[in-house]
Amino acid sequence: MGRFILKCLKCGREYGQEYRLTCENDDSFLRAEYLEKRLELRDQPGIGRFHSWLPVQEELTTEAGPITYRSEALSKELGLSNLYIGFSGYWPERGAFIKTCSFKELEAHPTMQLLKESGGKAIVLASAGNTGRAFAYSSALTGMDAYIVVPDSGVSSIWLPEEPTDSIHLISMTPGNDYTDAINLAGRIAKLPGMVPEGGARNVARREGMGTVMLDAAVTIGRMPDHYFQAVGSGTGGVSAWEASLRLKADGRFGSKLPKLQLAQNLPFVPMYNAWKAGRREIIPEIDMKDAKRQIEETYATVLTNRAPPYAVTGGLYDALVDTDGIMYAVTKDEALEAKALFESLEGIDILPPSAVAAASLLKAVEAGNVGKDDTILLNIAGGGFKRLKKDFTLFQVKPSVTVSSSDVSLDELGI
């Protein structure tokens, strides 16, 4: 018997347990509804603890999982009494063992498991860096093929803490192509026979994997936080946190008020910030991301640069922000670097650029009075511990099997 059904958020059509990204009637998100309505923690080391609300049959045994701890130093510096850090990365002293150093690994493991359970063999995805590394690692662990398309700026991010396997197929794109070009090429490859698109935010396994950050926080704190801070590029993490809190609310033991999403992008590329500020569901490219490619080149945290984020779609980020009375921030590179230095010196762990953007947004929120001094706050440090990892592991660069010059190349050139 299945553990969940997939339900279309617009027309309500239900599907059984399968690797499905879209409804046959419309373009809305599908959401998983689990038979287990109460979160029953499993005896697993990582995200497998949250099996109740992961769309897979077998419990995941990976040690990769989010951790949550109560901040002391940063909390004191900001004058906050209930600041919690959700950390996804490598920090063994705190029990954090994500060896690709970001919460993207929380998405990769359930996705590969769901793919395996539904008979799929090869997954195709685009990445600006962190997602590709996470799926490459999951491919190395499971032996399942992964075709990963990255822009030139992302190639150096595709490393592993062990020897890469033949199951990893890295396709790089020449300079001038960005993350969205990689998405377009991956979309074409995914139509080849035997290939399965990972689906980005449409993939419930990805969303539920990321949602475990909120679940871990709620079980650690004993209730849902009042505020949730994260830097977003696609916004999937924001949607995931919202969906996880809807389930926690229905569970009944973790409070009834949904955490307020407080999400950040980095200047000059801030399309979702612009649309949200203007009160619009639609992103208007000419207004919200004029000269997008140039903006992206100037951006500090490049993984936050998705030109086609799931913002307007039913069940997407706009709906999540409306439902949680959310706030969005635009952060400069200087603000991010300042917040990074502050966080690292006070909390004692190195963090990735997007996490610096998230930390900067918390500083802005405190300054603007968007959080109360005694409110319970969850800061999602979605990537970190890279320097810490290098002390314990040798890292291996994954080499591209082919480099292409545009998303329109003939697929024969790829030698798949």
Ligand X SMILES: Cc1ncc(COP(=O)(O)O)c(C=O)c1O
Contact footprint for ligand X (CB under 6 A): 102, 104, 130-131, 231-237, 303-304, 352, 354-355, 382-383
| SS3 category, 224 | coil
What's the rounded Cα separation, in Å, for the pair 16 and 14?
Answer: 7
Question: From the CB of 400, what's the least distance to ligand X, in Å?
Answer: 19
The nearer residue to ligand X, 104 or 169, going by C-beta atoms, is 104
Q: Which is nearer to ligand X, 59 or 152 (CB)?
A: 152
Minimum separation from the CB atom of position 241 to ligand X (A): 9
- Beta strands in 71-219, from DSSP E residues, in sequence order: 82-87, 90-91, 96-97, 122-126, 145-151, 159-160, 168-173, 195-197
- The number of CA neighbours under 13 Å toward the Cβ of 34 is 23
Nearer to ligand X, 271 or 400 (CB): 271
Tell the smallest beta-carbon distance from residue 128 to ligand X (Å).
6
Q: How far is the CB of 40 from ligand X (least distance, A)?
A: 27
> Whose CA is closest to 131, among 200, 211, 202?
200
Minimum gap (Å) between residue 346 Cβ and ligand X: 19
Residues facing 384 on adjacent strands = 351
Three-class SS state of 357: helix
Give which of 113, 162, 92, 110 is closest to 133, Cα–Cα.
Answer: 162
Closest to ligand X by CB, 209 or 255: 209
Handedness of CA 202, 205, 210, 216 (dihedral sign): positive
Please name the residue that has the structure tokens 């799929």: 120
- Which residue's CB is nearer to ligand X, number 75 or number 355? 355
Nearer to ligand X (CB atom), residue 107 or residue 251: 107
Q: How far is the CB of 52 from ligand X (least distance, A)?
A: 22
